[in-house]
Chain A
Amino acid sequence: MHTNEHTQKAETFIVPIGPQHPALREPGHFEFTIEGEIVTAASVRLGYAHRGIEKGTESRNWVQNLYMLERICGICSHIHATAYCLGVEQLAGVEAPPRAQAIREMVGELERTHSHLLWLGEAAHEAGFETLFMYAWRDRETVMDILEALTGNRVNYSANLLGGVKYDVTAEQASKIEQGLDYLEERTRHYLDVVTSDPVFIQRTRGIGVMTAVQADRLGVVGPTARASGVVRDVRVEAPYAAYADFPITPVLAQAGDLEARFVVRLKELFESYNVIRRILANLPSGDLVLKRMPRRIKAGETISRVEAPRGELFYFIRSNGSDTPDRVKVRTPTLCNMASVLTLTVGRHLADVPMILVGIDPCFSCNDRGLVLKRGDEHEHWTWDRLRQVGLEHYAGEQGSGGAGGKSISPAPLPPCPPALLTGMHV
């Protein structure tokens, strides 16, 4: 994922951003080669917040994993749990009751609201527009309060259970939510007006970081970043999950592909979220919240589960060997798919635009840090998936030989195929 020419390294002026930098809330390392104020090359190194969560899932049972996976992301926690639940339910051959699915969708859309408003403030902050930052975050408190009223928590709501949801929506809560949504809708309309009409702000967003639809397709970007370039890519529409078949949304598209379009798409998505939440509240299916019986051991098999996180497609691969713990859980978060676009779009731009372009994809580093990245001096080589797997097998075999972690057997079955872009994208 790096385009810098090492031959020129001696004469170039490289601005390192991260792993600790005021523009980054989470650790990531970027190197921007600049001439004057113009970026001529960019590279990224990720993986500072690798927490071994995927491996951790293998030593916890199916229920415990629900709570751990929810903690992959501090912002879009619910969607991780939803993806996991849907996958496990699919493996077990059961389906959550309709009321539970609707509540899942509703909490998911409330979460999207909170995530997009958080992003709006964050992006305004990168542009030095502190007033918008503060106001957006003040209004975000409305949806945080709604989520707290619904589930008792502001971030890790734990609304999901395997086979259903934990919390119901009472009539009183429903009217509170309606009130909150009315206020948020009015505020969102105002913010949409600000980002499309404030002359100083437009100078920083219009025509900057333009990504054409062709580029977006080639770079494989997902979520609002792709939709801002006119690429219809939304799991909620392509492969409706939870209750999205009964309460559909219309994907919001913009054609410009610049930073302004990313603002517009995310803000307009908020209206979609408000509308769909209202529809769900008005037509909430009756029935149970959770299945009467959810098996403790999940049938052997493997499945994928795709959902639309606020940042784009979230991908789960889950494999069971019939025991009470998963055999393998692989998570791919949208930030990884979008990261390549940052490196492409920043080249040729001003250094001052870099934080804006980076925040334009709404990056979430801790969610995304799961890959294996080794860097030894200046020697770079690409590891094939087979090689990587071999190293992994040898590593764990050695650990087992020395009487390591409880004698857990290593599955000889082939590991899931990794998307090629993921592997070749990393310099190892």
Chain B
Amino acid sequence: MIRDLATLLFFPGGLSVLLAGMAFAWLDRKLLAQLQNRLGPRWFQPLADAVKLLAKEEVVPAGVNRLLFVSLPVVALAGALTAVLYIPLWGLPPAASLPGDLVITVYLLSLLTLCTGLAGANSGGRFSLLGATRTLTQLFAYEAPFLMALMGPALAAGSWQIGVIMAGINGRWLLLTQPIGFLVALIGLMGKLEMPPFDAPEAETEIVAGALTEYSGRGLALFYLGRSVELVLGLTLVAAFYLGGLTNPAAFLLKTLGLLFFVAVVQSLMARLRIDQTVGLWWRYGALLVLLQWLVLWGGRWL
């Protein structure tokens, strides 16, 4: 019982993953800044932001559903923190495991996007509404290819259970045999986290802050934390599936940080895509390429 509580609240879930999320968010910002010839934030900036925002008053706009407005960020962060339990974070085996937990994890990871979209639609502001429309449009664009890309290793291992998939992969680098799946999964993760060039839902020069425009204080802090946690989880999942599994903390750090660097480089290289261009990219190229990858995988079985 105490052990379960500790798992949920401190390690490997809960507080430790929040701290890891902030550390990764800082590193992402710092790397991006350095690549863009900027200094970037100091190491404790995400923590300082979170503390400051949590301490601030949460302004609820007039005419919104108050319950939804306050609870959506909580649900978003809870979803991300629950997903931690199924993921081999820190290079340790997942804290919980059941058949089909890959699907549950992907679903829990999508909660953040769904909540962001609902929060924007609930806020009533014009920028929020436009941002919400774009967030949800983007969700429909990347979600299917992202899931399909994660299913590649599942197909190879013949299971929907993350632990079993990792055992099935057994240290092989699927990056080499399924390069398309790897790319789509990693870039899908960037779409999920609304990183450039997929930041149309929060394009500041068009719609201020998108769906979260009306959020301040605690709600905003929880959304930010949720996104930071998802960054760690997403990178861990991709590393575990495509980079030969995560068997110890050193491998975890090395592989996720390597992916983070790659993500930062991609972010610095590109201009923002318009939302219709994002959708086009995912359905014209992303989804089709992953399907092609599947065909190759199935073909390989027959041979």
Contacts and interface: CB of A to CB of B under 8 A. Distances in A.
Interface of A: 13-16, 21-23, 37, 124-135, 138, 198, 200-201, 203-204, 350-355
B37 A128 contact: no
Interface in B125-171: 126-127, 130
B276 A128 contact: no
B67 to A, nearest CB: 26
Interface string B258-278: 000000000011111111110
A21 B208 contact: yes
Contact of B126 (A13, A124, A128, A132): A13
Interface in B277-294: 277
Given A128-B196, A134-B36, A37 B276 contact: yes
A139 to B, nearest CB: 10
Interface stretch (B18-26, B83-91, B110-118, B198-206): B198-206
A202 to B, nearest CB: 9
Contacts of B35: 131
B273 A200 contact: yes
A206 B242 CA distance: 37
5 contacts: A22-B208, A128-B205, A130-B196, A131-B35, A353-B274
Nearest to B274: A352
A355 B206 CA distance: 7
B301 interface: no
B206 A124 contact: no
A194 to B, nearest CB: 10
B124 to A, nearest CB: 13
B197 interface: yes
A200 B270 contact: yes
A88 to B, nearest CB: 40
B3 interface: no
Given A126-B205, A127-B271, A134-B38, A351 B130 contact: yes
B271 A129 contact: yes
A390 to B, nearest CB: 40
B203 A128 contact: yes
A22 to B, nearest CB: 4
A127 B272 contact: yes
A15 B271 contact: no
Nearest to B208: A22
A201 B277 CA distance: 12
A354 B38 CA distance: 27
A69 B127 CA distance: 38
Contact of A15 (B36, B130, B197, B203): B130
Residue of A14, A22, A350, A352 with highest tally of chain B CB at under 10 A: A352
Nearest to A201: B271
Interface in B180-213: 196-197, 199-200, 203-208
Closest 4 pairs (CB-CB, A-B): A128-B272, A129-B271, A23-B205, A352-B274
A305 B185 CA distance: 61
Residue of B35, B37, B205 with highest tally of chain A CB at under 10 A: B205
Residue of A201, A203, A354, A355 with highest tally of chain B CB at under 10 A: A203
A16 B270 CA distance: 28
A354 B274 CA distance: 11
B271 A124 contact: yes
A352 B275 contact: yes
Given A133-B36, A198-B271, 19 more contacts: A14-B126, A15-B126, A16-B126, A21-B208, A23-B205, A124-B271, A128-B271, A130-B196, A131-B269, A132-B271, A135-B36, A200-B273, A203-B273, A203-B277, A204-B272, A351-B206, A352-B200, A352-B203, A353-B274
Residue of B126, B204, B271, B273 with highest tally of chain A CB at under 10 A: B271
A201 B274 CA distance: 11
A204 B270 contact: no
Given A134-B36, A351-B130, A129 B270 contact: yes
Contacts of A134: 36-38
A354 to B, nearest CB: 7
A203 B284 CA distance: 15
Contact of B274 (A22, A126, A135, A350): A350
Contacts of A200: 197, 270-271, 273
B272 to A, nearest CB: 3
Contacts of B200: 352
Contact of A135 (B37, B272, B275, B277): B37
A138 B274 CA distance: 27
Given A126-B205, A354-B206, A138 B272 contact: no
Nearest to A135: B37
Residue of A37, A124, A126, A204 with highest tally of chain B CB at under 10 A: A37
Given A124-B271, A204-B271, A352-B200, A131 B36 contact: yes
Given A22-B205, A351-B130, A352-B206, A131 B275 contact: no
Nearest to B37: A134
A37 B275 contact: yes
A130 B274 contact: no
Contacts of A201: 270-271
Nearest to B35: A131
A350 B208 contact: no
B125 to A, nearest CB: 11
Given A127-B271, A200-B197, A355 B205 contact: yes
A351 B37 CA distance: 30
Nearest to B197: A200
Nearest to A126: B205
A71 B147 CA distance: 57
A127 B127 CA distance: 18
A128 B36 contact: no
A225 to B, nearest CB: 19
A124 B196 CA distance: 13
B236 to A, nearest CB: 27
B64 to A, nearest CB: 18
